[in-house]
Amino acid sequence: MNKKAISLISGGLDSALSTKLILDQGIEVVGLHFTSPFSSRRERVEGLQAIRTANELGIRLILKEKGPEYIDVVRNPKHGYGKNMNPCIDCRIFMLRKTGEIMADEGAGFVVTGEVLGQRPMSQRRQTIALIERESGLESLIVRPLSAKHFEPSKPEIEGIVDRSKLSDIAGRGRSIQYDLVARYNLKEFGCPGGGCLLTDAAFSGRLRDFFTYEDTFTMLDVELLNTGRHFRIRPDAKMIIGRNKQENERLRSLWAVPYTLVYPSGFQGPLGILKGRVDTEVIAIGANIIAYYGKNRSPVITIESNDGSISRHEVERSDEDPERYKV
């Protein structure tokens, strides 16, 4: 085994500290960050924190897309979901298996993670950590510098590549020890704990669950739409998304593309929407009533326009049906 490691860099506090503890032992470290279609809006706006973390640590960073395979993991996780649509155990196994492939390509001997025993209720319990390591194919090749002394020595520790005495024994959800280490190393580039994955968000998860129930093909545009506006399942084969404010209306307009249908009010103020699926007179009528409801239009006839590549005008009778019944 050589003195080279692949370290999983999330951009968070724990992975930064774990990497630093290994670097301080004179071991070459290459960072690895998995990008996800389900990353938080904050991360997409501010850019990848992992890049800034790797730059501060002075290490090379590999960016790896989770890709279409990961969608299958999210759709059908072997080990189930957390509180929402977050398949944390299967996600961890997926990433470590991919890490094993990159470890071989890079000629690295082991993997470093920022795991802390007992910090996360689903994926960082002792039995779960053992299961993840076993199913990833990396048994005894994972070093967890922050919690190392709570586990049996890994192969790099046994062989003396990593000095176990210089590793830590942190456990639980508190972070006071980590912040003491941050002060000691004067680290500044790390993100706040939590909030990095849309799959842990209840509203997003509800929309994704609906999507997996009624739709087959999944694209990056679908992720953007799932994270924008109000959602309505009009029929099993038709869905509508409308903006909640001016910014979301503009966002939906910028995201719209054929074969989806853009719909918007004519002669009154109201939200803009996108229709997906089979759009017929029934769907247009329900969609118009939804737009009128949120636009506070009480006229007996609702006028909207649609654009599916060509613009059409529709006059629809008001319905007393509550649009909330369709809401996802």
Q: Which of 308, 313, 309, 311 is nearest to 267 (CA)?
A: 313
Examine the pLDDT at 232 and tell me if it is beyond 70.
yes
Q: What percent of the chain has pLDDT over 90?
A: 82
Strands across the sheet with 230-235, in order? 230-235, 238-242, 273-277, 261-265, 301-307, 311-317
Residue 148 dihedral angles phi and psi, to the nearest 5°: -55, -40
Q: What percent of the chain has pLDDT over 70?
A: 97
Look at residue 44 in the predicted model and tell me its pLDDT. Answer: 65
Q: What is the pLDDT of residues 133-177, one digit of tens each?
A: 999 999 999 999 999 999 999 999 999 999 999 999 999 988 899
Examine the pLDDT at 120 and tell me if it is beyond 90.
no
Look at residue 2 in the predicted model and tell me its pLDDT. Answer: 86
Examine the pLDDT at 66 and tell me if it is beyond 70.
yes
> Are 240 and 274 contacting, i.e. CB atoms less than 8 angstroms apart?
yes
Q: What is the pLDDT of residues 87-107, one digit of tens each?
A: 999 999 999 999 999 999 999
Q: Using pLDDT thresholds of 50, 70 and 90, give the confidence band for residue 41.
A: low
Look at residue 119 in the predicted model and tell me its pLDDT. Answer: 86
Contacts of 90 (CB under 8 A, 6+ apart): 73, 77, 78, 79
Examine the pLDDT at 45 and tell me if it is beyond 60.
no
